[in-house]
Structure 1
Amino acid sequence: MRRYNWLKTVVIVQAVCMIALTGAVIVKVWPLPALRGNMQTEPPSLPEDGPGGNDSPDQSQDNAGEAVAKVGDTLITRQQLDEELYRQHGDEVLRSMLLRHAIDLEAEAAGLRVLDDELDRELAIAAEGYDTLEQFLMVMKEQLGMSKQEVRRDVKYRLLMEKLIIRDIVVTDEEVEQYIDMHPEQFEPRRQLHLQWIVTATEAQALELMERLADGESFAELAAAYSLDEFTSGSGGDLGIIEADDPFYDEAMLQAAREMEVAEIAGPIAMSDSEGYCIVQLSGRNVTEKMNRRRMHDAVRKQLALERAKPMQKLEEELLQKHGAVVMR
Structure 2
Amino acid sequence: MKKYEVLKAVVILQAVCMVVLTVVVVIKVFPGNDRFQDRRPQTNAGSGEDLDQGKTDQPLIVDPSKQTDHERVIAKIGQESITLADLEKELYKQHGAAVLRTIMVHKVVELEAEASELSISAEEQDRELAKLIEGYESEDHFYEVMQNQLGMTKEQVLEDLRYRLLLEKIVIRSISISDDEVSRYIADHPEEFEDRVQLHLQWILTDTVKEANSVLQLLTEGEDFALLAKTYSIDSFTADAGGDLGLIDEDDPFYNREMLNTASRLQIAEMAGPIQVDGGYAVIQLIERQITTSMTGRRLHEAVHKQMALERADSLTEIEDELLVKYDAIKTE
**Residue 118 of structure 1 corresponds to which residue in structure 2?**
124
How many residues are aligned here? Answer: 297
Pick the aligned partner of 2:168 from 147, 162, 169: 162
Q: Which amino acid aligns with 2:152?
A: M
Report the secondary structure of 1:92's partner residue: helix
RCO comparison, higher one (Cα < 8 Å, 6+): 1
Pick the aligned partner of 1:318 from 314, 317, 322: 322
Structure 1 portions without partners, runs of 5+: 28-51
Structure-2 separation of matches of 1:219 and 1:104: 50
Offset of residue 252 of structure 1: 5.8
TM-score (norm 1): 0.71
Report the secondary structure of 1:326's partner residue: coil
Q: Say whether the 8 Å CA contact 1:191–1:285 is kept in structure 2.
A: yes
Instruction: Indicate yes or no: 2:25 matched with 1:20.
Output: yes
Go from structure 1 to structure 2 and tell me whether the alpha carbon gap of 1:129 and 1:64 turns closer, same or farther (over 3 Å shift): closer
Offset of residue 203 of structure 1: 5.5
Structure-1 separation of matches of 2:244 and 2:332: 40
Structure-1 separation of matches of 2:129 and 2:77: 44
Structure-2 separation of matches of 1:265 and 1:328: 63
Q: Say whether the 8 Å CA contact 2:17–2:152 is kept in structure 1.
A: no
Q: Which amino acid aligns with 2:224?
A: G
Structure-1 separation of matches of 2:12 and 2:201: 18
Q: Say whether the 8 Å CA contact 1:69–1:76 is kept in structure 2.
A: yes
Go from structure 1 to structure 2 and tell me whether the alpha carbon gap of 1:236 and 1:178 turns closer, same or farther (over 3 Å shift): same
| Greater Cα radius of gyration, structure 1 or 2 | 2
Instruction: Indicate yes or no: 2:106 matched with 1:100.
Output: yes
Structure-1 separation of matches of 2:38 and 2:85: 12
Structure 2 portions without partners, runs of 5+: 40-66
Measured against aligned partners, the alpha-carbon deviations of 1:87-145 in whole angstroms (never above 9, x if no partner) come to: 22222222222221121111112221111110011112222344543443344334433
TM-score (norm 2): 0.70
Cα RMSD, aligned residues only: 4.1
Report the secondary structure of 2:28's partner residue: coil
Report the secondary structure of 2:155's partner residue: helix
Go from structure 1 to structure 2 and tell me whether the alpha carbon gap of 1:129 and 1:62 turns closer, same or farther (over 3 Å shift): closer
Go from structure 1 to structure 2 and tell me whether the alpha carbon gap of 1:263 and 1:72 turns closer, same or farther (over 3 Å shift): farther
**Residue 222 of structure 1 corresponds to which residue in structure 2?**
230
Pick the aligned partner of 2:155 from 144, 149, 154: 149
Q: Say whether the 8 Å CA contact 2:26–2:96 is kept in structure 1.
A: yes
Most deviating of 247-256 and 123-132: 247-256
